[in-house]
Amino acid sequence: MSKFNRVALIGRSGHQQVSETIARLTEYLRDAGLEVWIEDQLAELGGFSEFRHCALEHIGQKVDLAVVVGGDGSLLGASRALARFDTPVLGINRGSLGFLTDIRPSEALEKVGQALLGEFTEETRSLNSVEVIRADQVIASATALNDVVLHKGQSARMLGFDLCIDDQFVYSSRSDGLIVSTPTGSTAYSLSAGGPIMHPRLEALVVVPMFPHTLNARPIVVPANFVISVTVTEKHQALPQVSCDGQTHISLLLGDQIIIRQSDERLTLLHPPGYSYYEVCRSKLQWGGRIEPQQDNE
C-alpha cells in the first residue's frame, strides 16, 4: 500500500539524462497505479505531454509527493515553489554535486519504491524570505532555501551598505556584498565565502560578508527569528542586486532597504533510509580525506 497517491516529477527540460530518468519513473509510477503529474515545461519539451501536467507554481497542490530529478539547483527552484504547499520532496541527482539531491540515478526506482512504502528519513528545512522596500513600499519579495545575496550586479566597483540586525546597527560596509544563508545554504555560497557549516536542524541564520576591504570582518550566526536589514547607501551606475538561491534577482537603487527574515514556509525533504548528513559532507565536501605519506624511492 503506497503512502503517496499522486506524485509530481520535476526536472530540467532539454537534459537528456534527466528525461531518461523521468521516463523510467513515469513507467514505474504508472505501473504502481499512482497518479503522475509532470511540470509543464518538462511535459512539453521532454515528450511527457500525455501525462497530467501543471505549472511548477501550482503543482504542489495537485500531489502529495514531488520527485526532483537534477542537481541541487533544480531542487532549489522546485522547493521554493513546493514549500508553500508543504509537499514533501525527494531528490535524484542528475547534477554535478548533488548535496541535496542524494539519490543516485541507478538507484532511482528502488529508492522511490521505498519512499512510496514509507521507508525514508524526513527532515524539515527552513527558508528565508526577502522584501525590498523603496519609499515605504514593498516593491518585490521572494523566498530562498539556500541564501539571499546582496551583490554589486554587473559592476566591478565596491558596494556601500549598512547592516542592522533586529533593529540594532551592526556595521557599514564597502565590499562585494553580503550573504544571508539558511543552514541548508551554509554548504553552498556561504561556505565559499568562509562561513561556518550549520547543521540543518539549527534554527539560525548566518550573515557572511563578501570581500570586505578590512582585516576583521567575520561571519556572524544569529537566531532564526532575528530580522536582518540592509540599506544601500551609495549610488551605483550598475544596479546592485539581491538574488535568492542565485536564481531570482531584484535590482536595487540607492536607499533601498532589504529585509530578510525566516519564512513561515518550510520544506519537507525526504532522504533514503540510512541517510547521514555527515556522510554527505564526507563524500561531497571531501571531509576526512587522508593525507597519504609521500613515497621515497631512494
The catalytic residue among 72, 102, 147, 176 is 72
Residue pair 10/65 in contact (Cβ under 8 Å)? The answer is: no
211: left (phi over 0), alpha (psi -120 to 50) or beta: left
- β-partners of residue 223 are 204
Which CB, 63 or 188, lies closer to ligand NAP? 188
Which CB, 75 or 230, lies closer to ligand NAP? 75
Half-sphere exposure of 210 (CA within 13 A, CB side): 20
147 is catalytic: no
- Interacting residue with ligand NAP among 184, 229, 231, 262 (CB under 6 A): 184
- Interacting residue with ligand NAP among 183, 185, 240, 272 (CB under 6 A): 185
Site string for ligand NAP, 130-169 (x = CB under 6 A): ----------------xx----------------------
What is the pairing mode between strands 257-271 and 228-232?
Answer: antiparallel
- Interacting residue with ligand NAP among 23, 155, 246, 249 (CB under 6 A): 246
Per CB under 6 A, the segment of 50-58, 61-69, 92-100, 197-205 that binds ligand NAP is 92-100
- β-partners of residue 205 are 222
- Give me the sign of the Cα torsion angle 174, 156, 177, 193: negative
102 binding ligand NAP? (CB under 6 A):
no
Cα–Cα–Cα angle for 287, 289, 295, rounded to 5 degrees = 165
Active site residues: 72
- Kindly list the residues in this chain that would bind ligand NAP in the complex (CB under 6 A): 71-73, 76, 95-100, 146-147, 184-185, 187-189, 192, 245-247
